[in-house]
Amino acid sequence: MTDLSGKVAIVTGAGRYRGIGRDTALALARAGADVAVTGTGRSPDSFPDDEKTMGWRDIESVAEEVRALGRRAMTIVADMGDGAQARGVVEQTVAELGSVDILINNAGYPMAGDRVPVVELDDALWHRVLDIKISGAYYASKAAAQEMMNRGSGGSIVMVSSIAGKTQPPNMAAYVVANMGLQGLTGSMAKELGQYQINVNCVCPGIVDTARWDNSPRRKEWQQAEMAIPMRRAGTGDDVASVIAFLCSDEGHWVSGQCINIDGGQVTSH
């Protein structure tokens, strides 16, 4: 029953067909929000086979789906690790859609060459993972919070982290630190912005069946990974998106500063 009518949302990293970003953009639109979606402008040559087959067009296709739900949509190509571009996402959204009431920081570096022992990790890759995940969320959140404060009508900011930031597995140092950073940013900003009626939360998905897993030795690991989940299945983008939509609603607005595991029961400590 979530109602986001009249709200304007930004969802970063929303261009993949099988992704939390797209599912979140659609969940917010179904609840009544207009949505700006961002992507990196990736080449169609890099699309997974299912996207190529369906003629997927990255964030343009997501925007079309949002409009089909009767909501306004806009697309922005941006490198969220670049401060000027991240701030520009907020500025462009305000200019075209009129405000920013909701920010979902979902952008992240693809699951690729960073999954190695720390002594083998390339320094440039370390910085890139952190730049997109932590710095990008910082830049966008700072700009969105200022806009929300200026308007005086509150708002919601949600970070999309991972249970990896809590479980801290080996051979994933950059990813672990990036997701821990988002969780810390969430707590600090929640305490700063609560007085302006802005709630700030973090969702921590477990294993979710998205295109990110296409870069891993999926077939060997997938069944074993699912069996480690008490509910014996991987999550879906919708599993995560529904919680995000709740946190952005009036019903969820008094929830703030929380890092919520969405993982089928895999992590029960907080």
Q: Residue 261 in contact with residue 161, Cβ under 8 Å? A: no
Q: Alpha helix (H) ranges present in 194-255?
A: 218-227, 237-247
CB 189 within 8 A of CB 157: yes
Closest by CA position to 196, among listed 246, 145, 141: 145
Instruction: Indicate the SS3 state at residue 149.
Output: helix
Q: Is residue 138 flagged as an active site residue?
A: no
Mean pLDDT across the chain, nearest whole number? 94
**What would the mean pLDDT of 72-78 be, rounded to a whole number?**
98
Average pLDDT over every residue of 230-244:
94
Tell me the average pLDDT across 1-18: 94
Beta-strand (E) ranges in 117-218?
155-160, 198-205
SS3 assignment, position 235: strand
Q: How confident is residue 220, by pLDDT bands cut at 50, 70 and 90? A: low
Q: What is the CA radius of gyration of the chain?
A: 17
The string of pLDDT tens digits covering residues 148-198 is: 999 999 999 999 999 999 999 999 999 999 999 999 999 999 999 999 999
State the Cα–Cα distance between residues 134 and 2, nearest whole angstrom: 29
pLDDT in tens, 114-148: 989 999 999 999 999 999 999 999 999 999 999 99
- pLDDT the model gives residue 202: 98
- At 217 the pLDDT is 55
Annotated catalytic residue within 109, 139, 175, 196: 175
Asked if 136 and 10 count as a contact pair (C-beta separation under 8 A), the reply is: no
Neighbours of 64 (CB within 10 A): 12
d(CA 111, CA 119): 18
* Residue 219 confidence class, pLDDT cut points 50, 70, 90: low
Judged by average pLDDT, the poorest of 56-60, 108-112, 165-169, 188-192 is 108-112
Strand residue runs (E) in the chain = 8-11, 34-39, 73-77, 102-105, 155-160, 198-205, 259-262
Q: What is the pLDDT of residue 209?
A: 85
With contact defined as beta carbons under 8 Å apart, do 100 and 93 qualify?
A: yes
pLDDT class of 216 with cuts at 50, 70, 90? low
Span between the terminal Cα atoms of the chain, in Å: 28
**Does domain 8-262 match CATH 2.60.40.10?**
no
Say what the pLDDT of residue 2 is. Answer: 83
Report the pLDDT averaged over residues 50-67.
Answer: 95
pTM: 0.95
**Predicted local confidence at residue 74, as pLDDT:** 98
